[in-house]
Amino acid sequence: MAVEQPVRTPVAPSGDQTRIHNIGYRTYDGPRLGRTYATRSLYSQSLRGAYGLGRSVKSKVLPMLLFVVMCVPAAIMVAVAVATKAKDLPVDYTRYAILMQAVISLYVASQAPQSVSRDLRFKTVPLYFSRPIETADYVRAKYAALASALFVLTAAPLLVLYIGALLAKLDFADQTKGFAQGLVSVTLLSLLFAGIGLVIASVTPRRGFGIAAVIAVMTISYGAVSTLQAIAEAQNSTGAIPWIGLFSPVTLIDGVQSAFLGATSAFPGAVGPTNGEGVVYVLVVLGLIAASYGLLLRRYRKVGL
Amino acid sequence: MAWITTVEDVTVIATESLSKRFPRVTALDRLSVEIGPGVTGLVGANGAGKSTLIKILLGLSPATEGRAEVLGLDVATKGAAIRERVGYMPEHDCLPPDVSATEFVVHMARMSGLPPTAARERTADTLRHVGLYEERYRPIGGYSTGMKQRVKLAQALVHDPQLVFLDEPTNGLDPVGRDEMLGLIRRIHTDFGISVLVTSHLLGELERTCDHVVVVDGGKLLRSSSTTDFTQTTTTLAIEVTDSDEHPDGTRAVREALHARGVDTHDSSGLPGAGHILLLTAQGEETYDLVRDIVADLGLGLVRMEQRRHHISEVFTSEAEERKEAAVHGS
C-alpha cells in the first residue's frame, strides 16, 4: 500500500547549541513491538506498582512496610537458631506463610484494588482496549503481576530462613527440601490469593470497598472455618475437620501442603487431610485459580469501552 | 515509491450497510459512508450512534450486519492491526489523577508498542505539540479541564497513528479552550499529516474545522458531503445599496424591482442592519447579473453584495424536518 503522506517537517539538524529550534512534527518510523511487548510492559508496570515503585511516596509506605513485617520474624528466627546452635529452625518453611497470613491478606487487600480498581474508577480501561492489547492480555498481565508481587512477599522470608539455616550449618539436604516445598506452597498461595483478590477488586471501582471486601473474605472465611474446625474437634468428629478446611483460602493451602508437601497441618489437633482428601484440596485450589481467571476475563469483556 | 496514490483517492474509513442492533435499540441502521483523508466531522445528537460507530471501527464491538474498513483493514478480522495504526480519545474523563502527564503518556505509548526510549521521546514531543510544557511533570489531578483534554489528545497521538478518533473533544471547554482545541484538531491534519474523525453534537464548530461532515441521526446517515458543499448548495446573497434623491429608500426600490422580475427576497429582520440589507437566494450566475443591472438602472450605488454562509445547523434542521414530513406523509 503506497499512501502518500502529506509533507511533514523533517528533523532539524542540530546546529547552534544555544538556540531552540521549533522542529515541527516528527513522524515515528521506529519499531512497533505489538501485543506481547505491551502485555509485558503492563506486567512490569503493575508489578512495580504493587510495591509503590513509580508511584507517589505515600503509596510506597504500606507495601514496603508489609514486606519488612514479613521478613523481620524470619530474621529473628534465624538469629535465634544461629545463636542457640539449634538443630532445626523454629518454624517449618511451609508453616511460615500460614503464621503470617494476616500480613499476606492485608497486602492483597491493599494492592489488588490499587492494581485494578484505579483503571476502572478513572475509566482508563478503554485506553488500553483501544490499543493492540486485548482483554485476555490485560487480565493476564494484571493477574501475573499481583501473583508475582505476592510471591516476592512470601518467598523472601523463606529465602532469609534458608540462608540463615545454611549459615547455622543445619543439614543441607533437609533444608533444601524444606525450602523447595515452601516455594511450591507459596507459589500456589500467591496464585490463589491474587485471583481471589483481583476478582473482588475488579467488581468495584471504589478502592475502599475493594480493600474492605478482600479483608472480609479472607478473614471471615478463615475465622468461620477455624471455629467450625475447633467445634468439630471438641465433639470428636475429627473426620469433618479436613472437609471444613476447604472453605477458606488459607486452610486450602494448609491442606494441600500437609497432604503433599510434608507440612504439619495447622488444623486443630493437626488433623490434616489424607492423600485422598488432599487430591480434593489440590483440585479445589486449581479450580479456584482457573475460576478467578475466567471471572476476570468475563468482567473485562463487559467493561470494554 | 513506484506508484503514488494521490491523497484524494484513498479511503480512510468505509462502511457498507453497517448496522448495530441492541436488544432494545438500533444504534446504527444500514449506514454506508466513505470518508477520505483530512478532518471529518461526525455530527449527530446524543444517542445518534456516533460512539457505537467508533467502537465498531476500532474493532471492539462486532456489527450486527454489514461491513466496515478502516485504512483498508476489515474491522471484523483486523482489529488489532487497526488499533495499532489508530488513536482514540474518549469522550469521558480517563486520566488517573495521581500520576504526571509524562508518566501517563509514556505508559500509554508503551501500550501501543513503542520501545521505552522511543516512548519517552515521543511523549515529550507530543505533549509539546498539544501545548503542555512545565506542568507535564505535575500530577494530572491538579490540571484544568483544558489541560486534561490536551493530555487525552496526546495519548491518542503519541504513537503517531495514521488516523485518530476524537470523541467530543470540546466537551466541557470554555469558548477560548474550544477554539484552541479546534485549532489543534486542524493542525493534527495540516501539520502532523494525521487524518481525523471528530464527533460533536455542536454543528457550528465543525463547520470551521472540518473538510467533510457526516451527519447521522437515529443511526441513519442523514448526509455526507464536504463542508463547502454543505454551505454552498443554497447561497444566500446579502445586498446593501445607497439611497439617491430619486429613490430616498434605495433598499425598497431594489426590493420592488426584484419582485417585479419575480425574485423573492427574504425577511432580514433580526439581522444587524436589517433595514438596509436585502437577502435573496442566488439561483446561479444570472442572479448576480440581475442584481447588478437593477442597481445600475435605478442609478444607485451598490455598497455590498456578499454570500452569506449557511450554518450547518440550518441544513441539519431543514433536512430533519423534511424527513419528518416525509415520515408523516408516508404513514
pLDDT at position B291 is: 87
Torsion of CA A101, A64, A205, A295, to 10 degrees: -50
pLDDT at position A113 is: 92
Between CA A214 and CA A250 the distance in angstroms is: 13
Instruction: Using 50 as the pLDDT threshold, list the residues of chain B that sit under it.
Output: 1-8, 330-331
> Within a domain: residue A282?
yes
pLDDT at position B90 is: 93
Chain A hits for B58, CB-CB cut-off 8 Å, are 130, 305
Chain B hits for A129, CB-CB cut-off 8 Å, are 60
Q: What is the pTM of this model?
A: 0.80
pLDDT at position A15 is: 45
Q: Which residues pair with A161 in a beta bridge?
A: none
Are the Cβ atoms of B60 and A37 closer than 8 angstroms? Answer: no
A→B contacts (Cβ < 8 Å), by residue, are 1-9, 24-28, 30-35, 37-38, 41-42, 45, 54-56, 59, 118-119, 122-124, 126-134, 304-305
Residue A173 DSSP SS3? helix
Judge whether B62 is closer than 8 Å to chain A, CB to CB. Answer: no
Between CA B253 and CA A52 the distance in angstroms is: 81
> Within a domain: residue A1?
no
> Within a domain: residue A25?
no
Cell 539436604 belongs to: A173
Minimum CA–CA partner of B92 in chain A: A123
Are the Cβ atoms of A55 and B2 closer than 8 angstroms? Answer: no
Å from A35 to nearest chain B CA?
7
Residue of A39, A131, A137, A301 to mutate, testing the B interface (most B Cβ within 10 Å of its Cβ): A131
| More confident: A289 or A168 | A289
pLDDT at position B285 is: 75
- CB contact set of B77 (below 8 Å; sequence gap of 6+): none
Residue of B100, B111, B166, B168 to mutate, testing the A interface (most A Cβ within 10 Å of its Cβ): B111
pLDDT at position B271 is: 56
Minimum CA–CA partner of B141 in chain A: A122
> Within a domain: residue A95?
yes
Chain A hits for B125, CB-CB cut-off 8 Å, are 25-26
pLDDT at position B278 is: 81
Are the Cβ atoms of B114 and A28 closer than 8 angstroms? Answer: yes
Between CA B246 and CA B298 the distance in angstroms is: 9
DSSP symbol at A232: H
> Within a domain: residue A194?
yes
- The residue type found at A128 is Y
Between CA B157 and CA B130 the distance in angstroms is: 9
| More confident: A269 or B300 | B300
> Within a domain: residue A263?
yes
Taking 90 as the threshold, does the pLDDT of residue A173 lie above it? Answer: yes
pLDDT at position B1 is: 38
A94-151, pLDDT tens digit by residue? 999 999 999 999 999 999 999 998 888 899 999 999 999 999 999 999 999 999 999 9
Give me the mean pLDDT over the A252-263 stretch: 91
Backbone angles phi, psi at B34, to 5 degrees: -120, 130
Are the Cβ atoms of B97 and A122 closer than 8 angstroms? Answer: yes
Are the Cβ atoms of B192 and A2 closer than 8 angstroms? Answer: no
pLDDT at position A2 is: 46
pLDDT at position B206 is: 83
Q: Are B214 and B41 in contact (CB under 8 A)?
A: yes
> Within a domain: residue A2?
no
pLDDT at position A305 is: 58
Are the Cβ atoms of B159 and A32 closer than 8 angstroms? Answer: yes
> Within a domain: residue A20?
no
Sign of torsion, CA B153 B183 B202 B45? negative
Are the Cβ atoms of B80 and A134 closer than 8 angstroms? Answer: yes
What is the SS3 assignment for B5-42? ECHHHCCCEEEEEEEEECCCCEEEEEEEEEECCCEEEE
Least-confidence region, from A39-53, A79-93, A242-256: A79-93
Average pLDDT, chain A: 89
pLDDT at position A9 is: 47
pLDDT at position B281 is: 78
| More confident: A204 or B146 | B146
pLDDT at position B7 is: 46
Given A1, A132, A304, which is nearest B72 (Cβ)? A1
Q: Mark which residues 247-286 of B lie under 8 Å from A by CB.
A: none
Backbone angles phi, psi at B130, to 5 degrees: -85, 0
Residue B191 DSSP SS3? coil
Between CA A269 and CA B35 the distance in angstroms is: 75
Given B58, B92, B160, which is nearest A130 (Cβ)? B58
Å from A19 to nearest chain B CA?
17
Q: If you count residue pairs, one on A and one on B, with CB atoms under 8 Å apart, how many are there?
A: 129
> First and final CA of chain A: distance in angstroms?
30
Backbone angles phi, psi at B306, to 5 degrees: -135, 160
A12 — pLDDT class (breaks 50, 70, 90): very low
Å from B111 to nearest chain A CA?
5
Given B10, B90, B98, which is nearest A126 (Cβ)? B90
Half-sphere exposure of B51 (CA within 13 A, CB side): 14
How do beta strands B73-74 and B65-70 pair? antiparallel
How many independent structural domains does chain A possess?
Answer: 1
Judge whether B138 is closer than 8 Å to chain A, CB to CB. Answer: no
Sign of torsion, CA B221 B224 B230 B233? negative
* Region for B160 from its dihedrals, namely left if φ exceeds 0, alpha if ψ lies in -120 to 50, beta otherwise: left
pLDDT at position B175 is: 86
Residue A159: give the domain boundaries. 34-302
C-alpha angle A298-A184-A85 in degrees, rounded to nearest 5: 145
DSSP symbol at A263: P
